[in-house]
Amino acid sequence: MEKISRTKIVDLLKRRDFGAMVNVKGWVRTRRGSKQVNFIALNDGSTINNVQIVVDLANFDEEMLKQITTGACISVNGELTESIGSGQAVEVQARGIEVLGTCDNTYPLQKKGHTMEFLREIAHLRPRTNTFGAVFRIRHNMAIAIHKFFHERGFFYFHTPIITASDCEGAGQMFQVTTKNLYDLKKDENGSIIYDDDFFGKQASLTVSGQLEGELAATALGAIYTFGPTFRAENSNTPRHLAEFWMIEPEVAFNDITDNMDLAEDFIKYCVQWALDNCYDDVKFLNDMFDKGLIERLQGVLKEEFVRLPYTEGIKILEEAVVKGHKFEFPVYWGVDLASEHERYLVEEHFKRPVILTDYPKEIKAFYMKQNEDGKTVRAMDVLFPKIGEIIGGSEREADYDKLMTRIQELGIPMKDMWWYLDTRKFGSCPHSGFGLGFERLLLFVTGMTNIRDVIPFPRTPRNAEF
C-alpha cells in the first residue's frame, strides 16, 4: 500500500472533497454485505461516528479479507465518495487494505448489547464500545472546561500533595502509605507501631482532600484551585462512591458564603454548557441509548437559577412531606445529616431544580467551617442536583484563630498535625471560602450514567483493584 497520511475519522466525516485519496486507520466495529461487496464500519476513537468502508470483493485477496473481523485493526487507502446510504454524508471506496492487528473470535465485544456489569469485568476493553468512548471523550472535555473556567477568571492551578500526614475531614478513613515490612512491625511498650524507620519517619496516608493546603495557597495567591486524585477508605459499596476519585477544590481569599455560592453555580453551568457545545454527538448518543431525559435535564440546569435554601427550612419542607404521607427510608429531624433520598426530594419533587442548601448544624459539618452568630449553625453550602444528590460541598472558612482552636479541641483533632494550618489564622488571617466538586459526580450528571464506576476508566472500590 502506498503511503498516504492518515486522516482521523472525526475530520474525514466533515470533508467534501470527493474523489480525493485518503487513509483511515481504526478498529472494525461490524462487517456485513453480499458476495460482491462488503461494508465495514470503522471507528478510531476520535468520534462516536463510524466511517463506512465499501469493499469490492473482486479487488482483494480472499485470505486477507478473512482476517477482517469485529475488533480487528486495519489501515485503508481509498477514495472519498459521497454516501448514497442514509446516516453519513461520506464513505470510503477501498483501494488498498492492510490488516494491522487480527482479532480472534474470543473477542468479548461482539455485535450485541452488553450489560454494564459485564463491561466492568473487561474494563481494559470497554473504552472500545460506543458508550465508553462517549463517556471518556466527555470526561476529557470536562477536565478541559474546568481548567478553562478557572484560568479565564484569574485562578491559579495549585498542586497539593497526594501523600499527607494530616486528615483533612477528621474522617479517619485513610489509606496508609508505608515502606515498612508488614510481616515484622516494630511496636513500643503500648503496642503502638514505631514509625521511626519508615520512609517519612511518621505515619503517612493518601490524601482525602487538598483543601487545607489550598487554603494556604489562597492566602498568598488570592484565588487557586486544585484538581487531582483523592482517596477515601470508606467501605461504601454504592453507585455514588469510589475509593479513588478526582476532586476540584477552588479556594478564594476575600470571598464570603454568597460569593462562594455564586462561584459554584457559575462553574457548574459553564461545565454543562461546555458539554452541550463541544460533546453534542456523544451526549446525544447517551441521551438516545440510556437516558431519554438527559439533554432536557442539562438544558434545564442552565435555564434556572439555583434555589438557595437554609437547612432549617429544608428540614421543614421534608417534615411536611412526611406528614402528607411521603415515605423516606431514613428519618427526618433537625440535626440529621441528609440522606441522598432527602436531597433528591427537595431537588426533583419539591423545587424541580438544583438547590443550594446552607447553614447546616455545626455538629454534622467539618471543624474549619465559619460559625454563624446563632452558635448552632455554620456557613456551609451543599449544591444538590437531580438524580445525584450532593454534587458540591463547601463553606466559608473560620478565619478566627480562637474559634478555630476551640473547635479543634472540642473534636479532639491532634494538634501536632495542624500547626501549619493554624499559622494562616495567626499571620494576616482573611475571610476566605471554597468548595469541593467530585469530578465523577459531575460526570454522572453530564453523561446520564447511573453508576459512578462507569465514568472512570478503572474504578477502585471495596475488594476491587483490577487492571
Residue 201 identity: G
Local confidence band at 172 (pLDDT 50, 70, 90 cut-offs): low
Residue 160's pLDDT is what?
A: 97
Q: Which three three-digit cell numbers place residue 424?
A: 494562616
Looking at the chain, the number of H-run helices and the number of E-run strands are 13, 16
Which percentage of the chain shows pLDDT scores above 90? 89
Of 17, 12, 4, 20, the closest CA to residue 52 belongs to 12
For the whole model, what pTM was predicted?
0.95
Local confidence band at 167 (pLDDT 50, 70, 90 cut-offs): low
Q: Which three three-digit cell numbers place residue 396?
A: 466559608
Strand-pair partners of 24: 76
CB 396 within 8 A of CB 411: no
> In this predicted model, what pLDDT tens digit does every residue of 104-138 receive, in sequence order?
999 999 877 899 999 999 999 999 999 999 999 99
Residue 166's pLDDT is what?
A: 66
DSSP-based three-state secondary structure for 31: strand
Q: Which residues contact 115 (CB under 8 A, 6 or more apart)?
A: none
Cα gap 36→41, rounded to integer Å = 17
Longest dimension (CA), the chain: 85
Q: What is the mean pLDDT of the chain?
A: 94
Q: What is the DSSP annotation of 219-288? A: HHHSEEEEEEEEE------STT--SEEEEEEEEEET--HHHHHHHHHHHHHHHHHHHHHH-HHHHHHHHH
Locate cell 437516558: which residue?
A: 291
Identify the burial level of 452 via C-beta atoms within 10 angstroms of its C-beta, where 0-12 means exposed, 13-18 middle and 19 or more buried.
Answer: buried
Q: Which residues contact 160 (CB under 8 A, 6 or more apart)?
A: 207, 210, 213, 214, 217, 226, 228
Residue 312's pLDDT is what?
A: 97
> Reading across the β-sheet that carries 176-177, which strands appear in turn?
163-164, 204-206, 176-177
Local confidence band at 424 (pLDDT 50, 70, 90 cut-offs): very high
Cα gap 167→157, rounded to integer Å = 22
- Per-residue burial over 256-275, b if 16 or more Cβ lie within 10 Å, else e, is ebeebbebbbebbbbbbebb
**Between β-strands 223-231 and 37-43, what pairing exists: parallel, antiparallel or unpaired?**
unpaired
Residue 1's pLDDT is what?
A: 82
Residue 237's pLDDT is what?
A: 82
> In this predicted model, what pLDDT tens digit does every residue of 361-392 receive, in sequence order?
999 999 999 999 999 999 999 999 998 899 99
Residue 169 predicted with pLDDT over 80: no
Residue 2's pLDDT is what?
A: 87
Local confidence band at 88 (pLDDT 50, 70, 90 cut-offs): confident
Residue 234's pLDDT is what?
A: 86
Strand-pair partners of 229: 246
Cα gap 114→129, rounded to integer Å = 10
Q: Which residues contact 191 (CB under 8 A, 6 or more apart)?
A: none
CA dihedral 293, 299, 301, 304 (to 10 degrees): -120
Cα gap 342→48, rounded to integer Å = 37
For residues 389 and 455, the model is more confident at: 455
Q: Which residues contact 248 (CB under 8 A, 6 or more apart)?
A: 146, 225, 226, 227, 436, 437, 439
DSSP-based three-state secondary structure for 89: coil
> In this predicted model, what pLDDT tens digit does every residue of 329-362 receive, in sequence order?
999 999 999 999 999 999 999 999 999 999 999 9
Residue 170 predicted with pLDDT over 60: no
Q: How many Å from the N-terminal Cα to the C-terminal Cα in the chain?
A: 37
DSSP 197: T
CB 301 within 8 A of CB 276: no
Q: What is the distance of C-alpha 286 from the center of its chain? A: 16
